[in-house]
Chain A
Amino acid sequence: MSLLDVRQLRKRFGGLVVTRDVSITLGKGDRVALIGPNGAGKTTFVNLVTGHVRPDGGTVLLDGKDVTRASPTARVRAGLVRSFQVTRLFSEMTPEEHIALAMLQRLGRSRRIFADFRSMPDVVDEADRILSLFNLSGIARVPVGAIAYGQQRLLEVALVMALKPKVLLLDEPAAGVPSADIALIERALAQLPADLAVLMIDHDMDFVFRFARKVIVLAAGGVIFDGTPQAVAADARVRQAYLGSYADDRGTA
């Protein structure tokens, strides 16, 4: 049973076809990477799947239910959550408040007017557990605007985890992170629940190849490769469309 089933998704902007009959399936525990050169249509694909852009054709099934016409927030509530390439956090709020707010939303308590999450033991306990999992306990009550960028990226992953999604779209989780801190992000991603289906969009090849068990390559709006990380570098079409010199570097190294 696949958690995310994208079938024949199509989108054109005027005369330009940006998504051409793309089909992807993700099952429990899948770790799939979506790569492709600039302009391949990765961002549009993410926007189609999350509901920010209406497709011209095709269907998106989430855990067996058709969500092709559902609003972005309805998809999130159904378990399809995304992270952002550029950190989107509340700069005046603390990491603890971020996690608590995500949990309150998940638990259906975010509309409460006369309540305080600090007097809800279940929320306080889980927020504390998630923050310590990502080594953020020490700065749990510091406004996010005052913490380091690498830690903000970690919080982004922690926040997504607090929403307990079924399917997670990670949009360049390591974007802008100094290379010394990439290991931290990788460790954070290793903490994601094993049965979660993850689709990662990224440029950093080494990073992608360590994380993914399956790679999908998008070029000019269509899927040109779908297979293992080992096979992708050997594929002639992928070499031509995207990897180019990188694949040769790997070969000589």
Chain B
Amino acid sequence: MTTDATVKARNAASLGRVRRSAAVDATAVVIILAAAALLYVLFPGSLALFTRMVAIMMLALSLDLVTGFAGIATLGHAALFGAGAYAAGILASKFGFTDPFAMLGVGAVAGALAGIVSSVVILRGRGLGQLVLSIAIVQLAHEAANKLSAWTGGSDGLSGIAPAPIFGLYRFDLWGRTAFILAVALLVVVFVLLRVIIRSPFGMLCRGIKQDPVRVRAMGAPVYGTLVKLYAIAGAVAGLGGALSAVATKVVGLDSLSFTLSAEALVMLVLGGVGKLFGALIGTFVFIWFEHLVAAINPFHWLTIVGVMLIVVVLFEPRGLTGAAEALWTRARGGRR
């Protein structure tokens, strides 16, 4: 009887931990929504910028899955973002399917497919080889999009994208309010899903692969198949981000498929903190905001200033901004005790 009671107590405690994780997720969602509401009220003229931030956040989240959780080095992650953007854009401008959710769905599927294709190539290499293969992928994708100008508009970009109103009711207005609200809603859904995924058995397996793939194989679990699956999920997230940017800006340019964007996404992730999901959001927000501010002050040397900021972060807080915040938080709590 006593053992029965202890088992019950233990299971209850375990479920309590599940509930606490859910509470943390709920808090994160509240923070995201509050920040979004604040930006909406304080900067009604910059909603287009914030929508772009959210699209890039999806790219950074996707990169965090692959690099932060599974330890795959890549400098070609924009290929997945661009695949989503072009798929959504081509669907609307060439085939006339302008329903925003159809565009987002097709973008996510195209991103997932691009993820599977690039993982099959990238996972052939290790370390530096992996990096080189990932750069090759994004360069090839960039060149293909450039050459297929009948479909992609080449270097002029793909225009003529006119998304229909959401549910046939909410038009995409000039100030970008609808697009911003859509973006925040998508972000919240994606963020919560990813939080669930990284806690799942599959997510544990991915974290295990990052730390010791030999041990994972010795447990009888597949390494390659798991990583391809993770890449498909990451691709869907990045593709969704790309499609969101196509829906919101109504154009798709070659820059969405570039090495530069891939490298910038990695910088944002390192800035915010790798392997925490929240770091991807903070890093993207700070990077793009800073870029926006500094570029307005000094359009010629803003990259230098961004570079200096990055050096400072990596030297003084290698765990990124979220790592610094965590350290402050534990110190504050320790001080109170």
Contacts and interface: CB of A to CB of B under 8 A. Distances in A.
A119 B11 CA distance: 8
Contacts of B208: 90, 93, 101
A101 B15 contact: no
Interface in B213-229: 214-215, 217-222, 226, 229
Contacts of B161: none
A73 interface: yes
B15 A110 contact: no
A124 B18 CA distance: 12
Given A73-B221, A114-B200, A128 B211 contact: no
Interface residues of A, number: 37
Contact of A89 (B15, B18, B212, B217): B212
B121 interface: no
Contact of B215 (A88, A100, A104, A128): A88
B306 interface: no
B113 to A, nearest CB: 18
Given A93-B204, A113-B197, A124 B220 contact: no
A105 B207 contact: no
Interface string B154-186: 000000000000000000000000000000000
Contacts of B229: 111
A62 B307 CA distance: 58
Interface string A92-120: 11000100111011100111111111110
Interface stretch (A33-41, A75-83, A199-207, A236-244): A75-83
Given A73-B220, A118-B14, A163-B219, A88 B202 contact: no
Contacts of B233: 113
A121 B15 CA distance: 9
B196 interface: yes
A91 interface: yes
A150 interface: no
B218 A101 contact: no
A124 B212 contact: no
A84 to B, nearest CB: 7
Contacts of A73: 217, 220-222
Contact of A76 (B11, B18, B199, B220): B220
Given A84-B218, A101-B201, A116-B21, 17 more contacts: A72-B218, A73-B222, A81-B220, A82-B218, A84-B214, A88-B212, A93-B204, A97-B204, A101-B208, A105-B205, A106-B220, A110-B202, A112-B201, A113-B202, A116-B199, A124-B11, A125-B7
21 contacts: A73-B221, A81-B220, A89-B215, A92-B207, A92-B211, A93-B204, A102-B219, A105-B220, A110-B201, A110-B204, A110-B205, A111-B229, A112-B202, A113-B202, A116-B21, A117-B204, A119-B15, A119-B18, A121-B7, A163-B219, A163-B220
